[in-house]
Amino acid sequence: MKKIISLFLLLAFGFSGCEKDDICDANTPTTPRLVLTFYFADQPTVLKPVTSLKVYGEGQDATKGIIFNETAITDELKYTTNASKILIPLDPSKDSVTYHFISNFSTTNPALQNDDILKFTYTRENVYVSRACGFKTIYKLNTSVERLGGENINTYWMKNINVITPNIESENETHVEVFF
């Protein structure tokens, strides 16, 4: 009988040390990126892909940038896109971020490249997700986007920029519309 009780106690103590694995599910929403959607300036309901768009952050190496195609072999294809919708990260440790948006980046004629510099300002809130996943940051974007590098709107390739969803809690909707 003492052996049975000893075995029972040994098993009870052995299993009491086991805990559920703390693994964050890959489908758990994390800190969302800013979703920008591009439209024709003269047809504001029609999506327009940007030709050879490269985006890089202020202070970042200009030869690199946001990776749009991870499987691309060349840097030109890795850091450029021809999409009508892009996702860019905001900095969870700062209240603003500045990006260069270069259209026609891949052209052999540098005079055809056009660089618009935009500053996005926002407030941040850290939200607890779970013990395994930790926290994520959600943002509230200011309703205006600051243009840097010139006052003449005719020099910009982006003609109009509208913040339509300032609360950035997911990547399932457009936050900023860009018309060009």
- The predicted pLDDT at position 76 comes to 85
Nearest to 51 by CA among 3, 117, 112: 112
- The predicted pLDDT at position 160 comes to 95
Give the three-state DSSP class for 32. coil
- The predicted pLDDT at position 68 comes to 96
Instruction: Answer yes or no: are the C-beta atoms of 62 and 167 closer than 8 Å.
Output: no
Distance CA 23, CA 103 (A): 40
pLDDT tens series, the chain, 180 aa: 555 555 455 555 555 555 555 788 888 889 999 999 999 999 999 999 999 999 999 989 888 999 999 999 998 899 999 999 999 999 999 999 999 999 999 888 888 889 999 999 999 999 999 999 999 999 999 999 999 976 666 789 999 999 999 999 999 999 999 999
Nearest to 178 by CA among 77, 53, 31: 53
Distance CA 156, CA 115 (A): 8
Bridge partners, 2 (sequence order): none
- The predicted pLDDT at position 75 comes to 85
Tokens of 124: 């941040």
Distance CA 5, CA 13 (A): 12
- The predicted pLDDT at position 87 comes to 98
Domain ranges within the chain, ordered by starting residue = 20-179
Note the pTM of the prediction, 2 decimals. 0.83
H-helix or E-strand spanning residue 4: helix 2-16
Tokens of 156: 């910009």
- The predicted pLDDT at position 29 comes to 86
